[in-house]
């Protein structure tokens, strides 16, 4: 089995003035191709940090990670990846269309291919009408959408989304869910974090729960959560049983 | 490698769109004001003075612009959080550093061209003229010097915020301009530790005076011999390459987690 995401004994610690913070410990994630994988956990559990390691923003203190079989430290690993950050922001002096042109060029897409790709992406995120306005005039949700469009410009095989529905209205959330389903139907892999567990339940095939920098549960949603049980109540049970007594973690 | 030009282009677009071009207009206005008020100071508005002071101001303004523009690029990527969008693409850290430098340098070069044009027009207005070939040579070396200044600033901007990087780069550039050429005079009169420090400085900082052909324009000395000119260019190229490599090395190992956004 070739994994789309594979981490081995991944650990990250940060040096702060107060000492060393172990943000991730011994993370062994395995994500199969064509799956929608929900990555959930309380605030500060290490979801964003894990994604940052996968994208090469930070090098792991211990262990290793591969995307589509390529070590994440190589830029090549990101050729077929799309990423939407937690607080997406971009060059506000560009128009939406110019942003997509820029990111398309970073992937080496040009000319007619690029134009066609941009038009279809704008359509998909419902931004065709506002594509030629400066991003500085966009609302939070519009910004989220254009950032999502730039994340998908290269038709990625793996899409990593850090809280993709944050800041979106119910219609926007619905669109994101539809988009994730669309990606899966085209054989893409989606790895996303979310605090909206009802949403995770709706779209995920597999999931992992991260608590305090450790993966405490990983598997197919159907195997993990018993029929009739809600993911939310399962999550609560797991987190409560894992949280050390008197923990004041954020 | 095909990621460098899009990155440079966005630097350039950002400078235009964020109305930084106004700064250029203000500086040009300042230049016009100074040059046209020379009469008032009893200098008679002689063409030589206009050219001389105009070129001094051009060096000063272009160096300030170079530091200000370059010092902002990488720190702004972090404070905006756009670095995450950028690095999630198949962009190498080297391409990012090189693209940023190229964009900033290109913008400063165009600004410098505008300053030279302003000086030329003012000189013509007073019935003089700038010698064409010598001015072109001077412009070439001037722009090379700006490439060094931006490359030095780039190094500091990989690890510092905008203000700190700009301040250090300005101090170093100022020192290189004002102190370095005078060091040989000092050293003959000083001994021991001070002389040692001076000598180290003399060799460690770039010799911008080599790139300064103002006198050749003002006094119409003709052109610098090409072998000499080429050597100066190569010296500049060595500095630029060295600085960009150092910037890449300091940037390569940087972590970009949320903590860095607070910088
Ligand atoms: N640069 C840093 N320096 C020190 N500690 C950090 C740094 N970045 C993250 N951390 C710590 O690592 C832990 C994990 O943070 P992370 O952002 O990955 O959590 P998260 O699961 O994404 O949380 P949220 O749901 O709130 O987005 C937190 O305790 C955080 O304070
Ligand atoms: Mg997070």
* Distance separating alpha carbons of residues A57 and B253, to the nearest angstrom: 10
Residues of A in contact with B259 (CB under 8 A): 14, 16
Give the position, in ligand 1's atom list, of the atom nearest the Cα of A249: 29
Q: What is the mean pLDDT of residues A203-210?
A: 93
Smallest CA–CA separation between B19 and chain A, in Å?
Answer: 10
Q: Which residue has the higher pLDDT, A138 or B46?
A: A138
pLDDT of A93 above 70 = yes
Mean pLDDT for all residues in chain B: 85
Residue A109 pLDDT class (50, 70, 90 cuts): very high
Q: Do B87 and A94 touch (CB under 8 A)?
A: no
pLDDT at B15 over 50: yes
Higher pLDDT, A202 or A246: A202
More confident residue, A157 or B194: A157
Inform me whether the C-beta atom of residue B131 falls under 8 Å from chain A C-beta atoms: no
Whether B98 shows a pLDDT value over 50: the answer reads: yes
Backbone angles phi, psi at A183, to 5 degrees: -65, -40
pLDDT at B156: 95
pLDDT at A247: 39
Q: Is it the case that residue B261 has pLDDT exceeding 70?
A: no
Answer whether A85's CB lies under 8 Å from B84's CB: yes
Least trusted range by pLDDT, from A96-100, B8-12, B92-96, B258-262: B258-262
Chain A CB contacts of B255 below 8 Å: 57-59
Model pLDDT, residue B196:
78
Task: Say if residues B217 and B129 touch (Cβ distance below 8 Å).
Answer: no
Q: What per-residue confidence (pLDDT) applies to B240?
A: 95
Q: Residue A249: what pLDDT?
A: 41
Buried b (16+ CB within 10 A) or exposed e, A52-90: bbbbbbbebbebebbbbeeebeebebbbbbbbbbbbbeb
Q: For B86, which residue in chain A has the nearest alpha carbon?
A: A103
Give the predicted TM-score (pTM) of the model.
0.88
CB-CB under 8 Å, A83 with B88: yes
The mean pLDDT of B110-116, rounded to a whole number, is 92
- Residue owning tokens 């990625």: A156
Residue with more model confidence, B96 or B210: B96
pLDDT, tens digit (0-9, with 9 covering 90-100), for A209-219:
999 999 999 99
**pLDDT at residue B1, rounded to an integer:** 58
Q: What percent of chain A has pLDDT over 90?
A: 58
Which residues share a beta bridge with A211? A214
| Percentage of residues in chain B having pLDDT higher than 70 | 92
B85, B89, B258 member nearest A107 (Cβ): B89
What is chain A's mean pLDDT, rounded?
Answer: 89
Q: CA-CA distance, B100 to A7, in Å (whole number)? A: 33
Could you read off the pLDDT of B209-253 as tens digits, one per residue?
888 888 888 877 778 888 888 999 999 999 999 999 999 999 988
B93-125 and B132-157 helices cross at what angle (nearest 10)?
140
Q: Do A83 and B258 touch (CB under 8 A)?
A: no
Write the DSSP string, B145-178: HHHHHHHHHHHHHTTS-HHHHHHHHHHHHHHHHH
Grouping H, G, I as helix, E, B as strand and the rest as coil, residue B261 is helix
What confidence score (pLDDT) does residue B96 get? 94
Counting one residue from chain A and one from chain B, the pairs whose CB atoms sit within 8 A come to 85
Write down the pLDDT at residue A151: 93
pLDDT tens figures, A133-165: 999 999 888 898 899 999 999 999 999 999 998
For residue A58, CA distances in Å to A91, B69, B199 come to 22, 27, 41
Over 70: is that where the pLDDT of B41 sits? no
Confidence label for B10 from pLDDT (cuts 50, 70 and 90): very high
A197: left (phi over 0), alpha (psi -120 to 50) or beta: alpha
Q: Which atom of ligand 1 is nearest to the CA of A163?
A: 27
Chain B positions touching A73 (Cβ under 8 A) are none
- Nearest residue CA, atom 31 of ligand 1? A44
User: For residue A217, what are its two tokens?
Assistant: 């549960």
Pairing of β A30-31 and β A36-40: unpaired
Hunting for tokens 């490359």 — which residue is that? B151
Residue B263: the pLDDT is 37
Q: Measured between CB atoms, which of A48, A78, A88 is closest to B90?
A: A78
DSSP state of B205: S
Residue spans per domain, chain A:
1-80+156-227, 90-154
A1-80+156-227 falls under which CATH superfamily?
P-loop containing nucleotide triphosphate hydrolases (3.40.50.300)
**Alpha helices, H only, chain B:** 4-17, 21-36, 47-80, 82-87, 93-125, 132-157, 162-178, 183-189, 192-204, 214-218, 226-252
Question: Please, which pLDDT band fits residue A199 given cuts at 50, 70 and 90?
Answer: confident
Dihedral of CA A185/A189/A194/A198: which sign?
positive
- The pLDDT-based confidence of B30 (bands split at 50, 70, 90) is confident
CA A49–ligand 2 middle distance (angstroms)? 7
The whole-number pLDDT of residue A53 equals: 92
What is the residue with the minimal CA distance to atom 16 of ligand 1? Answer: A46
Say how many Å lie between the CA of residue A141 and the centre of ligand 2.
18
The model's confidence at residue B204, banded by pLDDT at 50, 70 and 90, is: confident
CA B244 vs CA B1, B153, B167, B177, B201: distances in Å: 15, 10, 19, 21, 20
């Amino acid at each position: 089995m070739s994994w789309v995401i594979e981490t081995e004994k991944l650990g990250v610690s940060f040096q702060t003035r107060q000492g060393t913070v172990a943000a991730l410990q011994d993370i062994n994630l395995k994500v199969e191709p064509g799956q929608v994988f929900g990555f959930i956990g309380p605030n500060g559990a290490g979801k964003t940090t894990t994604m940052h390691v996968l994208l090469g923003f930070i090098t792991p203190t211990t262990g290793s990670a591969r995307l589509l079989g390529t070590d994440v430290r190589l830029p090549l690993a990101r050729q077929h990846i799309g990423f939407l950050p937690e607080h997406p922001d971009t060059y506000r002096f560009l128009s939406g269309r110019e942003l997509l042109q820029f990111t398309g060029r970073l992937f080496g897409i040009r000319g007619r291919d690029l134009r066609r790709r941009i038009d279809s992406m704008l359509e998909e995120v419902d931004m065709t009408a506002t594509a030629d306005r400066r991003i500085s005039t966009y609302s939070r949700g519009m910004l989220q959408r254009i950032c999502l469009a730039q994340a998908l410009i290269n038709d990625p095989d793996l899409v990593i989304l850090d809280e993709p529905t944050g800041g979106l209205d119910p219609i926007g959330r619905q669109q994101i869910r539809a988009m994730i389903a669309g990606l899966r139907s085209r054989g893409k892999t989606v790895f996303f974090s979310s605090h909206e567990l009802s949403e995770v339940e709706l779209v995920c095939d597999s999931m992992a729960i991260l608590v305090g920098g450790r993966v405490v549960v990983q598997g197919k949603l159907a195997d993990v959560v018993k029929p009739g049980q809600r993911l939310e109540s399962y999550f609560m049970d797991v987190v409560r049983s894992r949280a050390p007594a008197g923990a004041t973690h954020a | 490698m095909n990621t460098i030009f899009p990155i440079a282009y966005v630097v350039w677009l950002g400078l235009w769109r964020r109305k930084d071009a106004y700064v250029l207009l203000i500086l040009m206005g300042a230049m016009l004001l100074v040059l046209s008020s020379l009469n008032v100071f009893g200098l008679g508005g002689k063409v030589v003075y206009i050219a001389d002071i105009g070129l001094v101001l051009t060096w000063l303004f272009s160096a300030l612009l170079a530091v200000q523009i370059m010092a902002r690029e990488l720190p702004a990527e972090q404070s905006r959080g756009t670095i995450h969008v950028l690095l999630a693409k198949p962009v190498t850290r080297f391409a990012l550093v090189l693209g940023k430098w190229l964009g900033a340098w290109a913008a400063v070069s165009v600004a410098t061209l505008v300053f030279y044009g302003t000086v030329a027009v003012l000189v013509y207005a007073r019935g003089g003229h700038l010698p064409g070939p010598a001015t072109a040579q001077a412009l070439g070396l001037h722009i090379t010097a700006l490439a060094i200044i931006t490359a030095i600033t780039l190094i500091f901007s990989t690890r510092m915020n905008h203000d700190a990087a700009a301040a250090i780069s300005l101090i170093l550039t100022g020192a290189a301009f004002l102190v370095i050429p005078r060091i040989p005079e000092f050293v003959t009169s000083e001994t021991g530790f001070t002389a040692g420090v001076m000598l180290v400085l003399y060799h460690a900082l770039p010799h911008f005076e080599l790139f300064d052909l103002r006198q050749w324009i003002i006094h119409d000395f003709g052109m610098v011999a090409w072998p000499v000119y080429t050597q100066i260019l190569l010296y500049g190229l060595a500095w630029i390459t060295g600085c960009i490599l150092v910037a890449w090395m300091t940037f390569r190992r940087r972590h970009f987690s949320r903590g860095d956004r607070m910088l």
